Each structure stands twice: as structure tokens, then as C-alpha cells.
Amino acid sequence: MSAYLIVDITVHDPEKYKEYAHQVPAFIEKHGGAYHVRGGEVETKEGNWNPQRLVVLEFPNKAKAQAFLEDPGYQPVAAIRHEAATTNMVLVEGF
């Protein structure tokens, strides 16, 4: 069953975030992930949620998504994101 990481990112340091955005695709691909949404224009239709940068990643299953997040090589890259942005992230199983 596919699993999706849905990420709401508020970038505080665009230059540093570019460094993250340049490095992260290799780790996503390594774990079988693919982008479905990567920072396109967001239009809120209901409620108060107003993400600034929305990312949706699909992985073959929850274990692959978790392996991406826990990859030791990815940890320094994730640290760049933590320095450059505030992130809200959920992992959800789907079809």
C-alpha cells in the first residue's frame, strides 16, 4: 500500500533552503519515492490552513517512507531544512 508524506513548509532562509532542495531528491529517489507536489501555488478552499510551500511525496509503502526519513545520509540534509524552515509533516497510508 502506498504511503504519502505531506509536508507544509515555511521557509525562513531561502538561500539555505535551496541547498536542501538541491540535495533531497537523491534521497527520495533512493527510497523509491516520487514527488506529486513540490511547491506549486496553493489556494485554500476551506478552513484556516494556508501552507506557504506544500510538498506531497509518494513512497511504495510506509516502511520505505520511514527509511527515507531515518536514512543516516539524509540526516545532515534534514538539518539544513530544520535551520532554513519550519516544517509540519504527516505520513499517511493510501491506495
Instruction: Please list, in sequence order, all residues whose beta carbon lies within 8 angstroms of the beta carbon of residue 90, skipping any fewer than 6 positions away.
Output: 5, 6
Higher-pLDDT residue of 95, 10:
10
Count of C-beta atoms within a 10 Å radius of residue 12: 11
Domain 3-42+50-93 grouped into CATH 3.30.70.100: yes
In the chain, what's the furthest Cα-to-Cα distance? 38
- Going from N- to C-terminal start, the domains of the chain cover 3-42+50-93
How does DSSP assign 45-75, residue by residue? -SSS---SEEEEEEESSHHHHHHHHH-TTTH
Q: What is the pLDDT of residue 69?
A: 98
pLDDT tens, position by position, 44-88: 999 999 999 999 999 999 999 999 999 999 999 999 999 999 999
- Angle, CA of 16, 21 and 22, to the nearest 5°: 95
Q: What is the pLDDT of residue 95?
A: 79
Q: What is the pLDDT of residue 56?
A: 98
Q: Read off the amino acid at residue 86.
A: T
Query: Cβ(91)–Cβ(3) under 8 Å?
Result: yes
Q: What is the pLDDT of residue 46?
A: 96
Q: What is the pLDDT of residue 68?
A: 98
Confidence of residue 31 (pLDDT cuts 50, 70, 90): very high
